Chains A and B, each alone.
Chain A
Amino acid sequence: MKFWAYTALAGALAIAHAPLASAEMAEDELVINDDIEIVTKAPAPAHLGAFDEIYSGWLFRSEDTRDVQRDDFDNPGMLGVESAMEAWDSVEGTAGKACSDCHGALEDGQMVGVRAVYPKWNENAGEVWTLEQTINTCRTERMGAEAWGLNSKDMTNMSALMSYESRGIPMNVAIDGPAQETWEKGKEIYYTRYGQLELACSNCHEDHYGDWIRADHLSQGQTNAFPSYRLKDAALVSIQNRFKGCIRDTRGVPFDIGSPEFTALELYVASRGNGLSVEGPSVRN
């Protein structure tokens, strides 16, 4: 277990940076395991007026942190993926089924590309669902198993496995048709200034990406690389858990994980990254 080494590394990195020029980011390319090419820079999707190019948060991390993600043997997030691989084939619940009974063995590749289109409109439910909500419905409706907590370790690991299966595939969530109303709600939340510090997502991640808040280098806040192994937390972190931390840090009251508000926000933020590769499980500081 490399837990302590990573924690120490994170501490060292926090001390090591010197303030850099505005919007500075790495000139670097990400190829994982010398095999999977990750698109970390892409033309901004048409709906996004704020900038011309979108960037993976990977480009805003230090060289040491970027390197940890280049090889799955170094990436501590892979432990969660491996745990979910076991769960994939494990029978649970009253129906006596495993994930693989419906979706096939992972090697069959039936889940490839799934992550890239979530959150997604669910016709039966008549609402937009995150991948985690979809997984839980599989568990309760098809397997007769207990729902996982949306932010539980089991769920985040499974979510990381879904990212792993789609690594390298460009994000491509739908924002029109039945999803449009939810997307617009998410956009409104993105630009709302929450908490006593009155900060919106856009203040940091649209207006000031590339700048520094003290020792934190602000990225565009893209979701393509989640779940993300955060060195400072020594754990895989889900998208909505990060949303929660951000609103908390405005001296505000976050929405609940799995709430309609955070699902709408997740759809909107994901759409800002359409074109970047699915990158999870990523490594961040």
Chain B
Amino acid sequence: MKRAMTAAAAACILATGFAGTGVSASPVAPGDVVFEDGAVAASLTGMPGDPVAGAEIYAEKSVGNCVSCHAVSTLPDVQFPGNIGPALDGAADRYSEAQLRGIVTNAKMTFDGSMMPSFYKVTGFIRPGIGFTSKPIAPEDITPLLTPEQIEDVVAFLMTLKEQ
């Protein structure tokens, strides 16, 4: 709801001619992300992400926690990576930036039925709770697992994972 309001406000500003004053565009709302064959062409924030921040999001349990399922051999300090999903080494050789953005945003748009959580989605859940409290959450209060900035940081990090 908050995001929808922000988007609406941005639209008003555009309509009344205050755009182009150097303020960056509002992030794309979760419901407005455009997928093409699973890929998302444009940055969700309109800005490039920070790969160093992205590596932290990958490794931190309380943030992306990508490490639970995916290994990255160039980060030996991140211990005990899981092996549910493929290792991310060479991800940027296998996928374009748009494809990686699509996978991080909602992997199910690329891999049908993927076990991977959808990191930028706020609807369509069955019995969603408030974090790990077991308490129900009102649909309008659901926020995506990662912010648009964090999605872009992870994409920037993944783009550094080249082997060739």
Cβ of B15 under 8 Å from chain A:
no
Say how far B117's CB is from chain A's closest CB, in angstroms. Answer: 4
Contact B131 A251 (CB under 8 A): yes
Contact B117 A196 (CB under 8 A): yes
Excluding A19-B71, A253-B135, 19 further A-B contacts by CB distance (< 8 Å) are: A19-B80, A19-B83, A194-B126, A195-B125, A195-B127, A196-B142, A198-B118, A198-B125, A198-B126, A207-B115, A211-B83, A212-B82, A212-B83, A214-B80, A247-B127, A251-B131, A252-B126, A252-B127, A254-B134
Q: Contact check: which of B82, B83, B117, B135 meets A197 at CB < 8 Å?
A: B117
Contact A248 B134 (CB under 8 A): yes
Chain B positions 115-148 with a Cβ under 8 Å from a chain A Cβ: 115, 117-118, 125-129, 131-136, 142, 145
Contact A215 B80 (CB under 8 A): yes
Task: Find the residue from A214, A248, A249, A254 having the highest chain B CB count within 10 A.
Answer: A214
Cβ of B45 under 8 Å from chain A:
no
Size category of the binding interface on chain A: 20 to 34
Q: Contact check: which of A214, A244, A251, A254 meets B81 at CB < 8 Å?
A: A214
Q: Contact check: which of B80, B84, B128 meets A251 at CB < 8 Å?
A: B128
Say how far B88's CB is from chain A's closest CB, in angstroms. Answer: 14
Interface string of A158-201 (1 = CB under 8 A from B): 00000000000000000000000000000000001111111100
The 8 A-B residue pairs whose C-beta atoms are closest, nearest first, are A253-B127, A197-B117, A253-B129, A215-B80, A203-B115, A248-B134, A214-B68, A212-B82
Alpha-carbon gap, A213 to B133, bound state (A)? 20
Alpha-carbon gap, A118 to B24, bound state (A)? 62
Cβ of A208 under 8 Å from chain B:
yes
Can you spell out 17 A-B residue pairs with CB atoms less than 8 angstroms apart? A196-B125, A196-B128, A199-B115, A213-B68, A214-B67, A214-B82, A244-B134, A248-B129, A248-B132, A248-B134, A249-B132, A251-B132, A252-B128, A252-B134, A253-B127, A253-B136, A254-B134
Size category of the binding interface on chain B: 20 to 34
Chain A positions 213-227 with a Cβ under 8 Å from a chain B Cβ: 213-215
Interface string of B66-99 (1 = CB under 8 A from A): 0111010000000011111000000000000000
Say how far A19's CB is from chain B's closest CB, in angstroms. Answer: 6
Chain A positions 61-99 with a Cβ under 8 Å from a chain B Cβ: none
- When distances are taken between beta carbons in the complex, the residues of chain B under 8 Å from A254 are 134
Say how far B127's CB is from chain A's closest CB, in angstroms. Answer: 4
Who on chain A is nearest to B126 by CB?
A194
Say how far B114's CB is from chain A's closest CB, in angstroms. Answer: 9
The number of residue pairs between A and B whose CB atoms lie closer than 8 Å in the complex comes to: 76
Contact A195 B81 (CB under 8 A): no
Alpha-carbon gap, A248 to B131, bound state (A)? 8
Cβ of A259 under 8 Å from chain B:
no
Alpha-carbon gap, A254 to B117, bound state (A)? 18
- When distances are taken between beta carbons in the complex, the residues of chain A under 8 Å from B71 are 19
- When distances are taken between beta carbons in the complex, the residues of chain A under 8 Å from B69 are 213
Alpha-carbon gap, A249 to B132, bound state (A)? 6
Cβ of A17 under 8 Å from chain B:
yes
Alpha-carbon gap, A19 to B54, bound state (A)? 24
Contact A193 B126 (CB under 8 A): yes
Alpha-carbon gap, A194 to B67, bound state (A)? 21
- When distances are taken between beta carbons in the complex, the residues of chain A under 8 Å from B128 are 195-196, 251-253
Alpha-carbon gap, A247 to B127, bound state (A)? 9
Alpha-carbon gap, A246 to B129, bound state (A)? 13
Contact B127 A211 (CB under 8 A): no
- When distances are taken between beta carbons in the complex, the residues of chain B under 8 Å from A212 are 80, 82-84
Alpha-carbon gap, A199 to B128, bound state (A)? 11
- When distances are taken between beta carbons in the complex, the residues of chain B under 8 Å from A196 are 117, 125, 128-129, 142, 145
Cβ of A22 under 8 Å from chain B:
yes
Say how far B102's CB is from chain A's closest CB, in angstroms. Answer: 17
Alpha-carbon gap, A239 to B118, bound state (A)? 29
Alpha-carbon gap, A247 to B135, bound state (A)? 11
Alpha-carbon gap, A208 to B84, bound state (A)? 7
